[in-house]
Chain A
């Protein structure tokens, strides 16, 4: 399954160009189980991709980390979730040499969250490459309580913090690494449209 093709949208909605070789560059790679396939693919098109790569694998089973380890990266680290990945990535970014590339692959939540951290640490946008694989679940910020709800697959959805029913906008904040959720029944409380699966 290649990089997901999303339907055309507004200009703030991120698009993901896919992982392209940067031969010889040191790299930080962060992927989830579905995203690991994009890393594997990169390794097949660029034999030098892995030698200087530190891979952080989020929430993936042992077979996946074994498969990545077989590509002989500089390091592979497996962590249970994004919260655990955060300080590790922050440390890698703080130690990164000039020219280090950040490769992100997997869900929009993972890419949004990690790229926001990288940008805050001063990394340039052009040094971040992303490829969407797997679930189209979104990381949403509730505009009302500011809480983040990860893994949102329906529109509307319930804010996991304040409990308001929110509709899913395509408006995206790179700084927050999240889409915007806005109260769907603000004008007519209780009048909530039927729940639908979100589409790519």
Chain B
């Protein structure tokens, strides 16, 4: 079955919608009724057929609209995409990984034909048909990282490994949960994570870094992270905080169900072959509370998680001001019944 791509927006009139199918495959991030930071890392890909974990890079109904939104953001602020000079090879590694994966996993949408370094890439949903020379940046309209990430959902960080640490030396970041690539470029793992409460003291970051440094060639992993966003907005950047900030204060008991979104990041890790850099795609999924409560297990569980969450986390994630309205709304969908383990809905 060929995929239908939504004609929708992530700003202004916010016409973003999830089909019933997209809701059922939403990567709900809570496998139990409570939440605290942990080193929640598992193998990737791997998951039920049709889930966002099935393929290396998930392509869904929002693909084309998300790429259009990225184009708007980049036109207004080119610093959302940066690559320090030593990261170009990592960019080619990433381009190869994505093109090979997508052509294999979605043969009716993408194709890649290679004859030595003469490559032919076809991206049907975006109407792109491009011949270029692998490792020759002059044959592409952008650097390799920018070229491929303008065609791939999710933000991307490319990490350079040195001195026993990871350094954020390149990235494409237009759908972030309130952090600035321009500010963070050149930082190491502990520096860019500095604003996160509690996790360092809990040992989460030490363990996570150790794990990431040990990721070898051909191994890939994932974790889920989440926050809350008012309106289905991808660009919740600090750069534009003064533009989207006022929208955060528009939540009422009447509109919370369709205006308040759970924002889930499917984060994956890949060691890259030539550069030995680590690729860190951060794929954003958005579902409104009304979307989520169509799955009774999720309604119950989300209510319990948000009701009981550590106030420092609610503050950091930026939904403390709306928490009461959200929890009151969700309480209607919590009948006190037990929930089953795991993240998937009950059939």
Report A's interface with B, CB cutoff 8 A: 10-13, 119, 141, 143-144, 146, 164, 169-171, 173-176, 180, 182-183, 186-189
Contact = CB atoms under 8 A, between A and B. Distances in A.
B245 interface: yes
B290 interface: no
B194 A171 contact: yes
B183 A176 contact: yes
Nearest to A119: B186
Given A171-B194, A171-B195, 15 more contacts: A11-B190, A12-B187, A12-B190, A119-B186, A141-B183, A143-B180, A143-B238, A143-B239, A144-B238, A146-B182, A170-B194, A174-B186, A183-B245, A187-B249, A188-B249
A183 B194 contact: no
27 contacts: A11-B190, A11-B191, A11-B193, A11-B194, A12-B187, A119-B186, A143-B180, A143-B183, A143-B241, A144-B239, A144-B241, A146-B182, A164-B242, A169-B195, A173-B183, A173-B185, A175-B186, A175-B187, A176-B183, A180-B238, A183-B245, A186-B245, A187-B246, A187-B249, A188-B246, A188-B249, A189-B246
B248 A187 contact: yes
Given A12-B191, A175-B186, A182 B238 contact: yes
A115 B79 CA distance: 22
Which label, helix, strand, loop or mixed, suits the secondary structure of the A interface?
loop
Interface in B165-215: 180, 182-187, 190-195, 200
Contacts of A186: 241-242, 245-246
Point out which of B183, B245, B248, B249 has the most chain A C-beta atoms below 10 A from its C-beta: B183
Contacts of B321: 187
B242 A144 contact: yes
A114 to B, nearest CB: 16
Interface of B: 79, 180, 182-187, 190-195, 200, 238-242, 245-246, 248-249, 321
A10 B246 contact: no
A173 B239 contact: no
Contact of A171 (B183, B185, B240, B245): B183
A148 to B, nearest CB: 12
Nearest to A13: B194
* Most chain B beta-carbon neighbours within 10 Å: one of A11, A164, A170: A11
B164 to A, nearest CB: 14
